[in-house]
Amino acid sequence: MSKGVGVDLEDVCIRFGDFVAVREANVSIKGGEFFSFLGPSGCGKTTILRAVSGFLEPSEGRVMIGGKDMAGFGPNKRPTALIFQNLALFPLMKVWENITFSLEVQGVGKAARRKRADELLEMIALTGQGDKLPSELSGGQKQRVAIARALCAEPDVLLLDEPLSALDLKLRQHMRTELREIQKRVGITFIYITHDQGEALTMSDNVAVMRAGIVDQISDGHSIYNDPATPFVASFVGENNVFRGKVKSINGDHAVIDTNRSGDLVARIATSAKGSLNIGDPAMMFLRPEACKIATDTSAAQNRLTAKVLHEEFEGQIYNVFLEGAQGKEIKMSLVNVGQERQSKHSNELTLEYNPDQAVILPAGELASE
Amino acid sequence: MKSENFLLKFFLVAYLVVFFGYLLGPLLVMSVTAFNSPSFPKLTPWECLTFEWFDVLAQDERIITGLKNSLIVGFGTVILSVVMGLAGALMLTQIWPKMRATYYTIVIAPILIPGVVLGISTLVFWDRVSVMLGFGSGSFFQNGIFLTILGQSTFIASYCMLVFVARLQRFDTGLTEAALDLGASNAQAFRKILLPFMKPAIASAAVLAFLASFENYNTTTFTFGKFPTLTIELAQKVRYGIDPSISALAFIIICLTVIGALAHEVYRRRQQLALNNGAPLSAVTGSFQLPKFLRGNPAAIVLVLISLGGFTTIWFSQVYSPKECILDVREQKRILQDLRIQDIKRKRLEQQKATQGTQSTAPANSSTLPQSPNKGAFGGVFAPDNLNKETGKKAVPQSPGKGAFGGVFAPGNLDKTGPQDKKSD
Ligand SMILES: Nc1ncnc2c1ncn2[C@@H]1O[C@H](COP(=O)(O)OP(=O)(O)OP(=O)(O)O)[C@@H](O)[C@H]1O
Ligand SMILES: [Mg+2]
C-alpha cells in the first residue's frame, strides 16, 4: 500500500456568504501521520475536511496534497477517502459490494472484487459477513465496513469525520485502539476529526485545536495538555481552574499574577506567551485539578490557597473535591484514591498547594464556554 | 347495555353495506350485465347466461384499435412523464433554496389546470410550431399519438414529480458524495446510487402515469387526431347507444385491476411475513417460494381462487352454448305475446257482443291487424330492445313503427343480430 503523503493548508479561508467558517488556516500534516482536528461543535472541522476531500473549494488559500495544489480537482480525482460523520454506507448494496465500490467504478471484474472484499473483511474481522446488508450490522461493524470501504480505494490520505461519535463508550474505546492499529499497519496519513479530547489525545501524533474557524494550536497531545497556547485551548482540553488577574512580576520562566480574589499566585509562563507578556497585562492562570495537593505547611505562599470544602464526588480512582476559596472563588481538586482519609467534611478549612511548573499563565483571552 | 351494543353493531354493518354498495355496486352490476343475453346492458330480467358479448367485444375493430392506441400512448406517456418527472424532482433539490417555492409552484401548476385547457393548448401550440417550421398539414407535429403523449405528459409528469420528490426527500445526499469520494464519476454515482434508490418510486410513478394516461379523456379528446384511444372510442360508442360488450370490457378491466392489486398485496405480505420470521432482508428480495407463500396469506388464497374461477369460466364458456336458452326465452316471449293477443281479441269480441254490433264488421277487422303498430309504439318507448329483438328476427316487416322506435333507442341492436346468429352456429 502506498505510503502516506503530506497535506498542507496554506492560508485557507472558507466563507459561506458573509459567514467565515474557516479563517486563515495554516496546517502542515506530514505523510503517515495520525493528525486530529479537535474543536467544539460548529467550529469548522467538517468544513476543513470537505475542503481537503474536494467537496468545497477554499475561498482563499491553497490545499496541497503531496505537494500538489488541488485546486480544480474534484473529490473523485483526489487521493483521499472520506469516512463520513454518518458513515454513508450504501444501504441497497451488500457489505462486500459496499467495500469494493471503488473497484466497481474502475470496472474491476466481479471475481476480483469479491476476492479483495474477502481480504478486507478478514482485516476488519468480519469474515463471512460480506453478503449481509449494512442494515443488518451492528454500529461497530458498520464502522469497520466504512473503514474497509475507504481503505479499498487505496487512498494516500484517509479522512475521518467523527466516525466514533455514534457509538457507545465501550465500543468507542475499542474502536480507538483498532483505528490506531489499522493506521500503523497501512501507514497512510489519517486526518481525524473529533470534538472528544480523549480521542484526540490518545490516538494522534499531532492535534490542531480549533475555535470558531481559527486554528489556535497545533502540537502533540502532551504539549496541548501541558502547555496550551491560548486560554481557549487551556479551558477546552481537560479541566482547569481559571484565575484572572494582572501580571505583577516576571522572573525568568515564571510570573506572579495579582488575582482578583485569591491574592498573588505564581506559575510558569506558557511557551506561546514567553516574551510577549508584560507587567500590568491582564492575564489568566490555569491550574489543573490534579495539580492541586493538600499542603501540610499552612503558612502563606505564592503557590498556596486556602479554601473550604463544599462537597466531594467519588469516581473510583479519584476523588473530586469542590472547594470555595476566598470571596466565593470555586476551585476543583482531584485526588488520586490511595486509601487516604477523605476530605468530605463540610466547611473543613484546607490549604492547597501546587507546583508552579504545573500551572500556566497566559494573556487573558476567550475561554471555551461550558 | 347489550342492546346498545347490538344497535351499534347493526349500524356499523348497515353503514358498511351502504358504503361498499355505493363504491362497488355499479361495478358489480356492470360486470353482471356482461353475462346477460339481452342486447342492452341490464340486470333484470335475467334471461340467459351468455359469453357472446366477449366475442362481440373481441370483434369490435374500433375498440381493439382504441385499446392499441391507448397502450401506445400509455407507453409513451410513461416514458416521457417518468423522465421529465425525475428531472423535475432532481432539479428541485439542486435549485437555490430561494427559488424553490416558485419553481415548485410552476411545475405543479399543470395539475391544477383543467385537462381541457391543456388539450387545446397542446393542439394550438404544436400546430403553430408545425406552421412556423414550414410543415404542411399532416406533419409529425399534428400526429395524434405524438400530440396525445405530449398533452398527457404535461400534467402526468407533475404527478410523477410529486412521487419522486417524496422519495428524494429521504435520500441522503451524503451517499452521492461518498460515491464521488470513492472515485465514481457523476454519471456512475447517479446510476449506481441514486437510481437504485429511486427504483420503487419509478415503478409506482410508471404505474400511476400509465393509469392516468389510460383513463384520460379531457386532454386526449382534443389531441387524438386520427388515433382515438380507448376512452375516446368508448365515449363515441356510448353516444350512439351501447350494448353489453362494454360491460364485458369493464369486467375485464375490473378483473385485471383486482388481480393486479391482489398480486401486489401478496408480494407485500410475503415480504412482511418473511421479515417477521426473521429472514434477512437480502433473502426476502430473492427467489419465489410457493408453499410458504400460501401459508397464512389470505390475499394469496383469494388470488388463487380467482384464477381458478377465471379458468373454469373460460373453460365453461367454450363448452356452454346459450343458444338453446335464448331460443327458449324467445319462444316463451312469443307464447306470452300470443296469449296477450288472444286475450285482447277475446275481450274485443266480448265488447262487440255487448254493444250488439250496429257498426258491423269494420272494427272487428281492424282489431286483428293494425293493433301491432300501436303496441309497437308503446313497446318501443317502454322496452325498446326486448320487443325489438324479437321482431327484428322473426317478423321484420311486421311493424315498421316499432322498428323505428327501437332504432332510436338502440341502433346497434339490429346490427348485432347478424354476428349473434353467426356465432351460435
Ligand atoms: N453549506 C453551508 N452553508 C452555510 N454555512 C455552513 C455550511 N456548512 C457549514 N456551515 C457553517 O460553518 C460552520 C462550521 O460548520 P462545520 O460543519 O464545519 O462544523 P463542525 O466543526 O464539523 O461541527 P460538528 O462537530 O457539529 O460536526 C457552522 O457554523 C455551520 O453553520
Ligand atoms: Mg462536523
In this prediction, residues B121-143 reach a mean pLDDT of 82
Counting ligand 1 atoms within 8 A of each CB, the residue from A13, A38, A43, A49 with the most, and so the one to mutate, is A43
CB proximity A104 to B under 8 Å: yes
Residue closest to A96 by CA, chosen among A64, A129, A63: A129
In chain B, residues with a C-beta closer than 8 Å to the C-beta of A149 are 182
Q: Is residue A234 part of a domain?
A: no
Where is the domain boundary, A192, A226, A260?
Answer: A226
Number of domains in chain A: 2
Phi, psi of B205 (to 5 degrees): -65, -40
- Report how far residue B326's alpha carbon sits from residue B123's, in angstroms, rounded to the nearest whole number: 49
Q: Do the Cβ atoms of A81 and B182 come within 8 Å?
A: yes
Q: Is residue A232 part of a domain?
A: no
Looking at the structure, do residues A183 and A251 belong to the same domain, yes or no? Answer: no
- Please give the number of the atom of ligand 1 that sits closest to the Cα of A210: 21
In this prediction, residues A172-183 reach a mean pLDDT of 86
Q: What is the CATH number for A318?
A: 2.40.50.140
Facing B181 at nearest CB: one of A81, A91, A132: A81
Task: Decide whether any atom of ligand 1 lies within 6 Å of the A42 Cβ.
Answer: yes
pLDDT, residue B416, reads 42
Q: Is residue A175 part of a domain?
A: yes
> Does residue B279 have a pLDDT over 90?
no
Looking at the structure, do residues A215 and A245 belong to the same domain, yes or no? Answer: no
pLDDT, residue A345, reads 64
Q: Do the Cβ atoms of A88 and B174 come within 8 Å?
A: yes
- Listing DSSP states for A148-194 in one string gives HHHHHT--SEEEEESTTTTS-HHHHHHHHHHHHHHHHHH--EEEEEE
- pLDDT-derived band at B318 (thresholds 50, 70, 90) equals low
Closest Cα of chain A to B192: distance in Å? 9
- Report how far residue B101's alpha carbon sits from residue A273's, in angstroms, rounded to the nearest whole number: 54
Q: Is residue A322 part of a domain?
A: yes
Percent of chain B with pLDDT over 70: 75
Q: Do the Cβ atoms of B185 and A131 come within 8 Å?
A: no
- Report how far residue B240's alpha carbon sits from residue B226's, in angstroms, rounded to the nearest whole number: 19
Return the C-alpha cell found at B344: 285482447
Looking at the structure, do residues A260 and A213 belong to the same domain, yes or no? Answer: no
In chain B, residues with a C-beta closer than 8 Å to the C-beta of A135 are 281
pLDDT, residue B289, reads 45
- Predicted confidence (pLDDT) per residue in B31-90, tens digit: 888 777 777 777 777 777 777 778 777 777 888 888 899 999 999 999 999 999 999 999
Facing A55 at nearest CB: one of B177, B184, B197: B177
Where is the domain boundary, A226, A256, A275?
Answer: A226
- Predicted confidence (pLDDT) per residue in B367-421, tens digit: 444 444 444 444 334 444 444 444 434 433 444 444 344 334 444 444 444 344 4
Percent of chain A with pLDDT over 90: 48
Task: Decide whether any atom of ligand 1 lies within 6 Å of the A194 Cβ.
Answer: no
Pick from B58-72, B77-91, B145-159, B353-367: least confident: B353-367
Average pLDDT value over all residues in chain B: 76
Name the H helices within chain A.
45-53, 95-99, 101-104, 110-123, 139-152, 169-186, 197-203, 221-226, 231-236
- Report how far residue B68's alpha carbon sits from residue B65's, in angstroms, rounded to the nearest whole number: 5
Q: Is residue A180 part of a domain?
A: yes
Average pLDDT value over all residues in chain A: 88
- pLDDT-derived band at A215 (thresholds 50, 70, 90) equals very high
In this prediction, residues A281-310 reach a mean pLDDT of 88
Q: Is residue A1 part of a domain?
A: no
- Predicted confidence (pLDDT) per residue in A243-259, tens digit: 999 999 988 889 999 98
Looking at the structure, do residues A82 and A107 belong to the same domain, yes or no? Answer: yes
- Predicted confidence (pLDDT) per residue in A334-347, tens digit: 988 887 777 656 66
Q: What is the CATH number for A186?
A: 3.40.50.300
- Predicted confidence (pLDDT) per residue in A126-152, tens digit: 888 899 999 999 888 898 899 899 989
Domain of residue A27, residue span: 7-226
In this prediction, residues A62-72 reach a mean pLDDT of 90
Looking at the structure, do residues A267 and A206 belong to the same domain, yes or no? Answer: no
Task: Decide whether any atom of ligand 1 lies within 6 Å of the A251 Cβ.
Answer: no
Q: Is residue A101 part of a domain?
A: yes
> Does residue B226 have a pLDDT over 60?
yes
Give the global pTM. 0.70
Looking at the structure, do residues A76 and A190 belong to the same domain, yes or no? Answer: yes
CB proximity B282 to A under 8 Å: yes
- Listing DSSP states for B240-255 in one string gives T---THHHHHHHHHHH
Residue B308 has a CB neighbour count (10 Å cut-off) of 10
If one compares A232 and B99, the residue with the highest pLDDT of the two is A232
If one compares B273 and B206, the residue with the highest pLDDT of the two is B206
Among B182, B190, B194, the residue to mutate for chain A (most A Cβ within 10 A): B182
Looking at the structure, do residues A202 and A331 belong to the same domain, yes or no? Answer: no
Q: Is residue A28 part of a domain?
A: yes
Where is the domain boundary, A226, A250, A275?
Answer: A226
Looking at the structure, do residues A162 and A307 belong to the same domain, yes or no? Answer: no
In this prediction, residues B236-247 reach a mean pLDDT of 79
Closest Cα of chain A to B178: distance in Å? 7
Looking at chain B, how many residues does it have?
425
